[in-house]
Chain A
């Protein structure tokens, strides 16, 4: 039992030198419009899955760009592919194609 009511937080460090950015590079090649993302979060705001779970597309694409693929792979299956995000994106990013490509890259 934790008598303290809190525990020591782990350091939150993003190591750009060691992280694997090959997935991000491949995604950029296969879905070029993913590079247009400005991180506005409109996709997350309209996301049906995000309304019911802690799924967050904006965070997902950020994790991929940072090379933090383990967390992204764990989150990906929460998307229901409804495509609402696609309709609200101000930059016209094909978010559904982005999710399907990530499925292929991360799970193959």
Chain B
């Protein structure tokens, strides 16, 4: 293909991402299961990249889980989101950056609905005023936090202390990515690479020395899907989706999975334990699982953060084999110690999955 033409086409798959001054919206799942991940993001942006980010304590859930489970009506979620925009406006920010893929999808969907059905926006403004006496401006720029890290991937690479390479053999780490469905499958033009050519995570890992693997089920859902998981009877369907992905990526012997969705990170990590207990199957080498990292954790490891400081002990699948491959110096004794050096206790050992 004509390179110029190719670059022209690729332009259609890019999105505008603000340079600085981000209003940060935390994720319910990420801050609960991987709290170090969000801390690492804020620290990287503030202290390594010198950006301004407001982590607003008044911010709440977007209620996306309730909305997708049919317990929160659209008028309610629109008003909750309008309140978020009002908080952003009051703080003097214009760039909204949610940490959660579901929230990103929700904000995108609502802004699109307001554009195509202006009467719903008017109604929402009225609801918000009646409930809180607040008014809001719509964000000038909406980007997921993985878009921000993608934008500054080369700046992070310039400061890196470790590469995504096996220090023993020198080979680039084989990395499989998983992009949350609500990132670009609903509104493809809002994601880098759209839904067809997911580049937001592969772009990062390539910039940091790794090699992205385009495995067959790369675009398949992790199986979370809210109502698939919330009802116990449906969880068999949920885990089956993750299993399909693990079976698809296993032949490529990936060194780790990178995800940008909090729910996907949790499920791809914890379902490996569930599958091992149910069927005795593990997907990594020598009885280990395939480590799952969020893009913030991957960036933090590359920048030389301590693995326990960014909360990697919160993961079900052991990350030590990966740390050893990357040549990261870590203290195995400190894994289950808190910031004061006190013992936090250890989780029970799985039957089959090696940790």
Contact = CB atoms under 8 A, between A and B. Distances in A.
B236 A9 contact: yes
Contacts of B240: 8-11
Interface in B239-261: 239-240, 243-244
B333 interface: no
B350 to A, nearest CB: 13
A8 B234 CA distance: 10
Interface residues of A, number: 8
Given A9-B236, A9-B237, A4 B244 contact: no
Contacts of B233: 5-6
A10 to B, nearest CB: 7
Contact of B235 (A6, A10, A11): A6
B278 A5 contact: no
B274 interface: yes
A95 to B, nearest CB: 33
Contacts of B237: 9
A15 interface: no
Contacts of B236: 6-9
A9 B236 CA distance: 5
A26 to B, nearest CB: 35
Contacts of A11: 240, 244
B329 interface: no
A4 B278 CA distance: 9
Contact of B232 (A6, A8, A9, A10): A6
A8 B279 contact: yes
Nearest to B223: A9
Interface in A1-23: 4-11
28 contacts: A4-B235, A4-B274, A4-B278, A5-B232, A5-B233, A5-B235, A6-B232, A6-B233, A6-B234, A6-B235, A6-B236, A6-B239, A7-B236, A7-B278, A8-B236, A8-B239, A8-B240, A8-B243, A8-B275, A8-B278, A8-B279, A9-B236, A9-B237, A9-B239, A9-B240, A10-B240, A11-B240, A11-B244
Interface of A: 4-11
